[in-house]
Amino acid sequence: MSVAQVSPKLLDATVTVLADAGWDGLSLERVAERAGLSRVTLWRQGVTKESLVDALLERLSADYRDVMWPVLTADVNGAERLARALDALCDVADRHLELLLISDEIFHRARGNFLEPLTRALREGYADGSIRRMGSADDAADGLFNTVCWSYVHLRARHRWSARRARRTLFDLVANGYAETESADSVSRSKR
């Protein structure tokens, strides 16, 4: 069965089973039961555990690509592109919150270069002076992606923060840093 042929109902049931039982507990029997179908029905349709996982990951990847396209094609400076990319990342996280709560390996399992939009925004921001250089764009993009994505998922799901509150807090921390430069320097010196 191709990834495109897996119904949204089966994908949602798969996410629920993964949330309840984890990767090792994923079975066609559990997915079928959750979806209100028989295992035989899934078998006849050619559904496998692998096709369900592949379809979930493809759904996440496709959503991410679709939401990032307007960000990548916008006529804005690097700082604005970065802000839009982080906002889009949070949009995707909200739509796939249940899946992202299962494991922090989800993006590693999915196909695609999820860091590229952030890397591009950082490089453009370094070049146009709208973003302070934070080392290599690749490293900064990896740090930003993980800081924003996983903190956002945690605040939304575990602390039940609103999307607005979580984004405002995280984006302020990311964009402005935790402390003013002079204060941050004194904190660094005190830890030595």
Q: How confident is the model at residue 137 (pLDDT cuts 50, 70, 90)?
A: very high
Residue 110 has pLDDT above 70, yes or no: yes
- Exposed e or buried b per residue across 139-158, where buried means at least 16 C-beta atoms within 10 angstroms of its C-beta: ebbeebbeebbeebbebbbe
What is the value of pTM for the model shown?
0.84
Cα gap 192→188, rounded to integer Å: 7
Cα gap 153→150, rounded to integer Å: 5
Q: In this structure, are residues 71 and 88 in contact, taking their beta carbons and an 8 Å threshold?
A: yes
For the chain, the structural domain boundaries read 3-190
Cα gap 123→129, rounded to integer Å: 10
Helices (H) and strands (E) in the chain, counts: 11, 0
Whose tokens are 């949070």? That residue is: 90
Least confident piece of the model among 51-60, 63-72, 97-106 = 97-106
Residues 6+ apart with CB under 8 A from 164: none
178 burial (CB, 10 Å; 0-12 / 13-18 / 19+) is: exposed
Residue type for position 95 = R
Residues 6+ apart with CB under 8 A from 183: none
The CATH code belonging to domain 3-190 is 1.10.357.10
Indicate the DSSP class of residue 7.
-
Residues 6+ apart with CB under 8 A from 130: 77, 78, 79, 80, 124
Cα gap 82→131, rounded to integer Å: 9
Q: What is the mean pLDDT of residues 37-55?
A: 92
Q: Torsion over CA of 159, 163, 168 and 173, rounded to 10 degrees? A: 50
Encode pLDDT of 169-187 as tens digits.
999 998 876 544 444 444 4
